[in-house]
């Protein structure tokens, strides 16, 4: 911990060379994800780091310290520090560690059920799976969302292996193919896993986007989605 204290002290001096370094208190905390916080209380900085970073290399801690302090003080830092941090967090080892932590520590996901008032997600999944995936996808849990969100129409939670579809789509006026498309988009996440490229996560890879456009009513769907 002493070495970590020195790293953060040096980072603070680098960012704010003309100010006295305040007392810096650092602790590891069991966050549900790769989260870190810093807050100022009088002349003390309270730093909480994800306990999943306990064995991180020195250069990662240095980059993280600069990132946190830059955010706190509203200052800009060289992008190389962000690249060092991202490269570490996006390794398979850290991603798996984060996945297990989210699974263990996050609040239990409450599914609302696949059968809505007008659409049954399980029936739609089977139809879309046969038509576009040759029946190859294993069905995850399917659920309508708790709220009628018009901003997030669908979401795949990889940690809990569940697809949520916004309840705003469970209306009689909407053509079935619109709901099927939103479900199709989330099903593509089952097939096209997240890829790391240039220290960044690619959620929608070029292959994902190309296959998304194969949906038969793609243009008609866009017309409807713009009006939801």
Is beta strand 162-165 parallel, antiparallel or unpaired with respect to 141-144?
Answer: parallel
pLDDT at residue 100, rounded to an integer: 85
Q: Which helix (H) or strand (E) holds 156?
A: strand 154-157
- Rg for the chain, CA atoms, rounded: 22
The owner of tokens 């706190």 is 72
What CA–CA distance (Å, rounded) separates 154 from 159? 16
Residues of the chain with pLDDT under 70: 107-111, 196-199
| Coil/strand/helix, residue 44 | strand
H-helix segments, the chain: 2-15, 58-73, 79-89, 92-105, 121-133, 176-191, 206-212, 218-225
Fold assignment, 121-225: Zincin-like (3.30.2010)
pLDDT at residue 96, rounded to an integer: 87
* The pair of three-digit structure tokens given for residue 53, joined into one six-digit string: 């970073």
What CA–CA distance (Å, rounded) separates 27 from 55? 13
What CA–CA distance (Å, rounded) separates 111 from 109? 6
Measure CA 9 to chain center. Answer: 31
pLDDT at residue 223, rounded to an integer: 86
Q: Would you kindly state where each structural domain of the chain is located, as residue ranges?
A: 2-105, 121-225
pLDDT at residue 197, rounded to an integer: 61
Give the single-character DSSP code of 167: G
* The pair of three-digit structure tokens given for residue 228, joined into one six-digit string: 């939801």
Closest CA to 159 of 85, 209, 95, 212: 95
Quick check: pTM over 0.95? no
What CA–CA distance (Å, rounded) separates 100 from 33? 9
CATH number of 2-105: 3.30.2010
Per-residue b or e along 100-133, where b marks 16 or more CB atoms closer than 10 Å to that residue's CB: ebbeeeeeeeebeebebeebebeebbeebbeebe
Closest CA to 35 of 47, 22, 23: 47
Asked if 7 and 69 count as a contact pair (C-beta separation under 8 A), the reply is no
Angle at 222 between CA 139 and CA 182, to 5 degrees: 15
């Amino acid at each position: 911990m002493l070495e970590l204290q020195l790293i953060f002290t040096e980072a603070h001096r680098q960012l704010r060379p003309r100010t006295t370094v305040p007392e810096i208190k650092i602790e590891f905390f069991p966050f549900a994800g790769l989260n870190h916080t810093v807050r100022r209380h009088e002349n003390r900085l309270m730093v909480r780091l994800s306990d999943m970073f306990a064995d991180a290399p020195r250069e990662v801690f240095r980059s993280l310290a600069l990132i946190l302090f830059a955010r706190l003080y509203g200052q800009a830092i060289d992008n190389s520090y962000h690249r060092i941090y991202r490269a570490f967090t996006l390794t398979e080892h850290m991603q798996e560690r984060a996945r297990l932590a989210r699974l263990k520590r996050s609040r239990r996901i409450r599914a609302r059920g696949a059968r809505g008032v007008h659409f049954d997600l399980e029936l739609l999944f089977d139809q879309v799976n046969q038509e576009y995936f040759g029946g190859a996808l294993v069905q995850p849990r399917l659920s309508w969302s708790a709220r009628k969100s018009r901003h997030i129409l669908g979401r795949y939670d990889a940690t809990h292996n569940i697809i949520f579809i916004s309840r705003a789509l469970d209306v009689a006026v909407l053509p079935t193919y619109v709901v099927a498309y939103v479900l199709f988009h989330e099903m593509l996440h089952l097939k096209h896993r997240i890829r790391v490229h240039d220290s960044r996560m690619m959620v929608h890879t070029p292959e994902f986007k190309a296959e998304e456009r194969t949906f038969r009513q793609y243009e008609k769907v866009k017309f409807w989605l713009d009006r939801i």
